[in-house]
Amino acid sequence: MEKNSYIIGIGEALFDCLPEGRKLGGAPANFAYHVSQFGLNGYVISAIGNDELGEEIVSTFNKVQLKHILPVVEQPTGTVKVTLDEKGVPQYDICLGVAWDNIPFTEEMLAVARQAKAICFGSLAQRSEKSRETIHAFLAAAPKDAMRVFDINLRQQWYTAEVIAESLNRANVLKINDEELDIVATMLLGEPTVQGKLIAEDADKTRRVCRELIAKYNLNMLILTCGAVGSYVFTACEESYVKTPKVQVADTVGAGDSFTATFVAQILLGKTIREAHEKAVAVSAFVCTQHGAMPIIPAELK
């Protein structure tokens, strides 16, 4: 891959306030960090406040040599209160009116967009008009053949059918989990809601719904993760399923982001869908055994 090609996470960069302390996170930042661990040019784009937390984000990215564009805005650096259930699954309380809600589109961002090999974006940073416009402008400026990964990440009430549909129309890859699939299928496909049973619990229904989304939004790929059960990768003519390995879970914060990053990195490095899928499962399982979203991936997994 070209030296000056970038793999970008654009959206929220923030601090997850976990029971054991504060850790840097945000899905796009996690994505860019993990991509960079595979030797690729990861780049995170967000915004920070003129405060100590913003300085800490910059310092942390500099320490791990992660490229970034983080304009300083009037609003405070974002924080999220994270609580964990007995299985280590997180619940989020996401502060409103923070820096990453107000990401400006700059000339520096435009230059990076034009060299994008892959871009990962979600729904959360699009809850505000300002950041949504910046993400759309960034995607529009990228080369036509760039991977545009919509890692949907539905959080609390911060999404609408309109934002999801617009994002799918701008993406060529969708990354979604089993609970999100139910929401999206109901919103966009008119799929009836069934209380107490997820679409992903029915393999035939899973295939049908995922292929309907691929066809409706002209996607190249759909990645579906089903927690401890397993995960799928669908294309128009291919399907891969891998069971999730059993591990001792510390927390699952950032595990999905590491999955997305690893999968994208492996595809860009020339691996097959199956090879990329298996590596993504292995890395995300390792991340589940660690606290926080940005652990160092061991050499044997790289």
Q: Please name each of the domains of the chain with its CATH number.
A: 6-301 (3.40.1190.20)
Reported residue count of the chain is 302
Q: Say which residue, 201 or 92, is predicted with more confidence.
A: 201
Q: pLDDT tens digit string along 221-252?
A: 999 999 889 999 999 889 999 999 888 877 66
Which range of 11-20, 41-50, 81-90 scores highest in mean pLDDT? It is: 41-50
In the chain, the amino acid numbered 136 is H
Strands of 2-152, DSSP E:
6-10, 14-18, 21-25, 42-45, 48-49, 67-69, 72-73, 78-84, 90-94, 116-121, 147-151
Which residues make beta-bridge pairs with 224?
176, 232
Q: Which two tokens stand for residue 70?
A: 């983080």
Q: pLDDT tens digit string along 54-100?
A: 999 999 999 989 999 999 999 999 988 878 787 777 777 788 889 99
Q: Find the angle CA(266)-CA(271)-CA(272) to the nearest 5 degrees.
A: 120
CB atoms within 10 A of CB 195: 4
Q: Does the structure show a pLDDT above 60 at 1?
A: no
For CA atoms 292, 176, 154, 170, the dihedral sign is positive
Residue 109: which of 137, 150, 75 has the closest Cα? 137
* Contact in structure between 105 and 69 (CB atoms under 8 Å): no
